[in-house]
Structure 1
């Protein structure tokens, strides 16, 4: 049929419009649950640039999917024939990887659609492809848009991807969206929003820096100005702002302080220090000065030096990201502090993208580089899709199968409502195949022995009482509210694992265990900044994860195994009394309270009013704190973690509590 010339422009326009849309055919199958939920509350900025490159990660069907699920369950369950009968990574791939026909089908599909295969996991369960946005849209019949959420712009598929008939039954998931993991390290804040400044090492040639006496006797302050007078009395937190070394404000613990506070000396005195074991630490970007910094840290704290026999870097340790350089420094120095004679493998991903950190994890597991993997990072679970989780779950199932424990920190913003506007948890920590590590605050006695005075679940609220600029009391007190705290809560997607008993929760619940994380009771690290070494205080569940990974390595030493004891999570729910120290609500009669008088009258400010918001908090500690940079006075609380709270037994801030040194490693070793 000849088309009249007057209709040609309309036909050309229609053809161009159809060509720009993803192909929709009756021969394709939709893969559900592959659009991240966060897009519903994000700003859609429109179509992504079709010429940009984007990576697609595909999860493949196991040749024995039901057998894999059963094996992972049995290997974690005492009394089954497979309990702790670990495989080699090669045998795992042979038994449970995808069939060769599946790998061939994906290669054919990629070539036909202009996509390049960039990675194939050695377990044969995950493959990644890369191509232009336009090619990916066409291959999977899906539009890809830019979405903005929390200041970050991400490319995300608008609808569920579709796969061709050649891949049905072979490919179980397709992850297209951009996804970047975030580090879980935080610095103590001078509550005007400024982090505490690092201190040059030269300030203290004797290696003594920050005050370890974080919690002091009650104090009273009075301030007048602006037509008001206020008096506040209660516990005091932090060293005086005019103090120098060894009492720099506010406070910070060195290695000896942590050993004493958590009663770790009996463990070390028994010769248990990680000898013969290897800890893997996975970070993004890395720090090119990490070995030099860690060795300065080790010299100051009396630890063995890191050298070519006990320290290895895998990947390009180029640095270039200040946040992740601090994370890397914290992870290496404090894994080394807890297990000083364990070897450390630092596996560095080139970026913090899902693809790069995922394949760093794959490499560590496939090569069985250690018996425990420490990960101090994560992302919001609602930002993931089923395919991203499926890929990560596959490699963590492999880790369990080959004897490796994979630990993830749970994040630093409690229930995450303050960040997202709704409750969420951190992934991969929320996976039932990971061990989720939460956080605590630690108070030491102000004695020579420095034993534990008390501990709380980590969570800080702040209220300004006196303006440091004017010296006048805030009238009324300035309620700044929740700052940060240990992540926890219930997964939005995972059902309750059979091994997670005693939580009284309907789904996979976080965390499983906890350790020191509060930056206001944080630890010292040594880091090179602009060419010079500095000491600073740091915290976050990024601290708890490498510390727990260190004691897990020691438990493996006690069990006399270099293959591994499998995942920690499933073993923590059946521990004997005394092996884990329960973290329960803590109260004090000296919580901060005050009296404020102005032209309208006199008002009593109760400790609960000043500590708000308290939500479900059942007990807390509050103290007067003067900010070093602002000179303002504050009421700083401990144990106030958004809507999360500690209680006797398992809770959503600290899990079962903190490891009790020698008792803990002995109990774990006995589970071998």
Structure 2
């Protein structure tokens, strides 16, 4: 495919892309505006400590281990609550303390999540911490957060591991991007009527495919990753339910338009929206929700689709996940939102914490318990691994060494870094490209997605420094918090953290300041786990009213997480069971059977995400690799017969 593009537009697009939002790490840029309005209502989530977490870990492993007495014996929410939730005495003690301070509380059915509502002044007194308003000098955003560390009351200390919602500074990013090359030439395809245009360009194989990079559909995904044999057997997700956890509401008509426009027959009236904490409303992330539904529901056209949306913040995101898991209706759950794992560390959040304190302040542990519950209940959970390559802070903070700029350490995205979630990475499928009349270049094999290949092209034909693409690409690397899980112990290619990784800020008044020192050679959880096409240059069509209707050239690992969820819905129908936590199962299969004609996986041997390169084994650039879904289905069904 040969297209043209003016490189000045690319530079503009990337400037906007990397502007990002303010996060906890920009403490040098906060202006304290004094005590927040005391009567302001807020929702806060308390996460109660699991009972027998080690026993829960063993149980989860047994549910996906053939021959185990608990193989495929997943729990109901009530069973999970009875075995691993808080006791009646603990819950009574917590609720009594909250009620005495005028706070209203609700305990979810899992007995580990407590939603609390009240005013800022009530919470300030309950946790003995003044809550101030601050203004970000970088963005002008006003937010509130405690001006000192919370003091956990003795009545709660033995039961509560996290308190989320009193700090609304950090917001999560949607992991979707539009390709710079197609930004000017995105196809409108006749407004919202895409049927004729797409069907006329239909590729061989799946009749809903376009065969056109930048305009790929779920039909192309089926062609790329050998899903069509399942469709030919009548496997379309019937009896399965997929859930989207998101921080933006959307118009369900967009998804219906997408499916009908590509000629896909789907189950009618299957989308249900669940607004958590009042819902998120329509906002600039609504296109994210639309694409999640279009991809998951498009790959599994007869599956039910649940959409849990909540306000953008730690408590809203946790509450949406908690509701999706506690409801226990969905067989698979995906999210395409996240933030750098390091933004949760004490060094960036606790006044007086040392710069090498990489303990978290509760949010990572809170999400971890929800993901463990999902695994025990047989729910497969997927999260986008990010779109900043191996340097996850770049989209939120930018990078550089100038005044007012941050450095870019090797970092990974959360919640994708959690060991009980399957991290969805990104690749670039084969494509030919050219810019501004220069020679045609090509990617000849599926590669780790990183725009370093475009950087080399622009450096060659437009001159070094003309365009700066660092570091757009599929997120991947090594967690600095979660230790390497057992399922990665025997995996060739897993890495430890690199040495001398620091997050520094060049303070205009004080000069360079180190905010965070990451641990050297830490044997952490590696991600992603599985990758599929995510490069916007080989990207997808999107129908989103908030993004102008029908547009092309969209990508990001946002597409991969819901695609894996939709694939899980197919596998669940085929097997007749929930699939459960993917990670122990797919790493076992890869370790034993490797790659080859009958393997469920294809290695990704080329490309890079600006640090980690493709390899004929696991790599933090692409994880295990991409899928052969028919072979994965055969392996999983054979295991169920043991």
TM-score with structure 1 setting the length: 0.72
Deviates more, 1:408-417 or 1:159-168: 159-168
* Max Rg structure: 1
Contact 2:613 2:619 in 1 (8 A): yes
Structure 2's unaligned 5+ residue stretches are 1-22, 204-209, 345-359, 398-407, 434-442, 497-522
Q: Residue 208 in 1 paired to residue 208 in 2?
A: no
Deviation, structure 1 residue 546: 0.9
Return the alpha-carbon distance in structure 1 between the equivalents of residues 432 and 145 of structure 2: 51
Note the 1:128-527 alignment, pairs <5 A.
128-145=115-132, 146=134, 148=136, 151=139, 153-175=142-164, 176-178=166-168, 179-190=170-181, 196=186, 198=188, 200-201=190-191, 206-208=196-198, 251-288=214-251, 290=252, 292-308=253-269, 310-315=270-275, 320-349=281-310, 351-384=311-344, 385-414=360-389, 415-419=391-395, 420=397, 421-443=408-430, 454-461=445-452, 462-463=454-455, 474=462, 478-482=466-470, 484-501=472-489, 502=491, 503-505=494-496, 506-527=523-544
SS in 2 for 1:82: coil
Q: 1:574 to 1:327 in 2, by over 3 A?
A: same
Return the alpha-carbon distance in structure 2 between the equivalents of residues 110 and 535 of structure 1: 49
Per-residue CA deviation, residues 316-374 of structure 1 (Å, 9 max, x unaligned), is 8987544322112111111122222222222233x222222322222222222121011
Q: 1:379 to 1:477 in 2, by over 3 A?
A: closer
Aligned to 1:585: 605
SS in 1 for 2:486: coil
Contact 2:371 2:420 in 1 (8 A): yes
Deviation, structure 1 residue 196: 4.7
Of 79, 82, 93, which aligns to 1:105?
93
Per-residue CA deviation, residues 495-546 of structure 1 (Å, 9 max, x unaligned), is 111122312441111111111211111111223359x842433111110011
User: How many residues are matched?
Assistant: 533
Structure 1's unaligned 5+ residue stretches are 1-35, 214-245, 447-451, 468-472, 587-638
Q: 1:267 to 1:306 in 2, by over 3 A?
A: closer
Contact 2:427 2:449 in 1 (8 A): yes
Per-residue CA deviation, residues 66-124 of structure 1 (Å, 9 max, x unaligned), is 4334333443444443333211111111121111111111122112333332x422111
SS in 2 for 1:347: strand
Q: 1:150 to 1:410 in 2, by over 3 A?
A: farther
SS in 1 for 2:487: coil
Q: 1:660 to 1:425 in 2, by over 3 A?
A: same
Return the alpha-carbon distance in structure 2 between the equivalents of residues 640 and 197 of structure 1: 29
TM-score with structure 2 setting the length: 0.75
Return the alpha-carbon distance in structure 1 between the equivalents of residues 449 and 200 of structure 2: 20
Deviates more, 1:148-157 or 1:572-581: 148-157
Q: Residue 556 in 1 paired to residue 576 in 2?
A: no
Contact 2:392 2:413 in 1 (8 A): no
Return the alpha-carbon distance in structure 2 between the equivalents of residues 211 and 188 of structure 1: 21
SS in 1 for 2:478: strand
Aligned-CA RMSD value:
3.3
Return the alpha-carbon distance in structure 2 between the equivalents of residues 409 and 71 of structure 1: 26
Return the alpha-carbon distance in structure 2 between the equivalents of residues 542 and 273 of structure 1: 22
Q: Residue 84 in 1 paired to residue 67 in 2?
A: no
Contact 2:195 2:260 in 1 (8 A): no
Per-residue CA deviation, residues 551-602 of structure 1 (Å, 9 max, x unaligned), is 11111122112xx12111221111134434334333xxxxxxxxxxxxxxxx
Q: 1:319 to 1:362 in 2, by over 3 A?
A: closer
Return the alpha-carbon distance in structure 2 between the equivalents of residues 513 and 123 of structure 1: 29
Question: Which structure: greater strand fraction?
Answer: 1
Q: 1:197 to 1:189 in 2, by over 3 A?
A: farther
SS in 1 for 2:197: coil
Contact 1:212 1:444 in 2 (8 A): no
Q: 1:439 to 1:205 in 2, by over 3 A?
A: closer
Q: Residue 537 in 1 paired to residue 548 in 2?
A: no
